[in-house]
Amino acid sequence: MNNQNTAFNSSNIIPLAIVVGGIIIAMAVYLSMPKSPVTENSKVTLIRSIDSSDHIFGNPAAKVVIVEYSDFDCGYCKTFNETLHQIIANEGAQGDVAWVFRQFPLLEIHPNALSHARATECVAETAGNDMFWKFETALFANQPVDPAQYGLLAKEVGVTGDEFAKCYANSASTSSTIQTRILSDRQNALDIGAKGTPYSVILTTGKEPVVVSGGQSYEEMRQLVNQALDN
């Protein structure tokens, strides 16, 4: 009888493991998959105001600001990161468009996402905003990155001294301002309705916010930005 029970239990464990594995994979794909732009979202009014602590690429006084919530282990975020660099280089060439990067690590499916976020915040804290952008670009370009590579990547983009390593070593503490900032960004993303990455909001002076869900193409983003600029 015991042998029969053992055989029965074993025969059920394998199918169950397959089902659970399938659910996890499906969730990972859904959370990171590209989605159509959304123009209405009542929760978007809860977006945190942009301030001097934000990572801003481009003119801080730009008429149009794209606030992006992103995850460094998200493949679509990597592609969208390249798209937004193009947008700032082209549509933002005259100072009319800026980009704000905020952290939205998908902790449930990307075990290193929080570590990546802490590393970028430590670069910003110890080496400044310009170095933050160089480091975040390097992280995406070398995706997936092992946390053991942070020091090498930091040196490659020009971060010098030991302050970065010291900051990162202490950044996991619950009392760390780095950890607090990341979790604040993440919570704000959830508050405004983000369910996956990348998730962006186009803020335009005198207009309603436009929510962009997923990693849209350069042409799609160019059209949305030009609409915001009335071009």
Range of the domain at 4: 1-32
Average pLDDT over residues 177-193: 97
Residues 102, 212, single domain; the answer is: yes
What is the Rg, in whole angstroms, of the alpha carbon atoms belonging to the chain?
20
C-alpha to C-alpha distances, 204 to 8, 61, 82, 102, nearest whole angstrom: 62, 11, 22, 18
Q: Counting beta carbons within 10 angstroms of the beta carbon of residue 215, is it exposed (0 to 12), middle (13 to 18) or buried (19 or more)?
A: buried
Measured CA to CA, the distance from residue 226 to residue 147 in angstroms comes to 38
Domain count, the chain: 2
Let me know whether 9 and 58 are in one domain: no
Which CA distances in Å does 23 have to 14, 35, 74, 110, 207? 14, 20, 18, 15, 40
Q: What is the pLDDT of residues 125-158, one digit of tens each?
A: 999 999 999 999 999 999 999 999 999 999 999 9
Q: Over 70: is that where the pLDDT of 18 sits? A: no
DSSP structural state of residue 52: T
Do 47 and 25 lie in one domain? The reply is: no
Please check whether residues 118 and 158 belong to one and the same domain.
yes
Residues with Cβ within 8 Å of 193's Cβ and at least 6 positions away in sequence, in order, are 41, 43, 44, 211
- Assess if residue 98 is contained within a domain: yes
Q: How far apart are CA 22 and CA 186, in angstroms?
A: 26
Is residue 56 within 8 Å of 50, Cβ to Cβ?
Answer: yes
Same domain? 157 vs 178? yes
- Asked if residue 5 has pLDDT above 60, the reply is no
For residue 56, being part of any structural domain is answered with: yes
Whether 2 and 84 map to the same domain: the answer is no
Q: Examine the domain organization and report whether 62 and 2 are in the same domain.
A: no
Instruction: Say whether both 47 and 28 belong to one domain.
Output: no
Whether residues 21 and 135 share a domain: the answer is: no
